[in-house]
Amino acid sequence: MSNLNDSEEIIKIVETLFQSGVTKDLSKLRDIHLNDSKFSSFSDLPPYDLKDYQTTIELEELRFVSISDYSYEIRNPKISLFEKTAVVALELIQKGMLVDNKSYTGEHMTITGRATFVLVKEPTWKIAHIHLSKVDA
């Protein structure tokens, strides 16, 4: 497979993660992450500790069902390929309405941030590490 096809596949996997928040179809989250003890993630939302595969999936699902009218924009993605490893660095803007199901209120949110993804090809591309960080505007 050529680097161009790999790059297209890699960015589609990253987009699938955020698209899950738009469509609320969370079934693909488990498919795009590496289900292995080597997986790790840091988030821009608490808790800020290093998370494993299962905790990451649960928190992503919770996050996406808690945000209505979710949208995202990926800016300036840079994909670096190293044989069966890829590093994706990008700027990320996420918007939506945080929903409080107890009081039925909502709060508009905009998160401007940066994201780094490490993917491995085993045999298809999977996310092995995520690091999301907010940028104070």
The number of helix segments (H) and strand segments (E) in the chain equals 3, 5
State the Cα angle at 119 between 49 and 37, rounded to 5°.
50
User: Which pLDDT score, from 0 to 100, does residue 98 have?
Assistant: 87
2-15: per-residue pLDDT in tens? 456 999 999 999 99
User: For the whole model, what pTM was predicted?
Assistant: 0.91
> What residue numbers bound the domain in which 17 lies?
3-134
The dihedrals phi and psi of 65, each to the nearest 5 degrees, come to -80, -15
50-60: per-residue pLDDT in tens? 999 999 999 99
67-102: per-residue pLDDT in tens? 999 999 999 999 999 999 999 999 999 999 988 666
Tell whether the model's pLDDT for residue 129 goes beyond 50: yes
Domain count, the chain: 1
CATH number, residue 95: 3.10.450.50
Element (H, E) at 69: strand 67-82
User: Which pLDDT score, from 0 to 100, does residue 2 have?
Assistant: 47
* CA–CA distance, 132 with 12 (Å, rounded to integer): 18
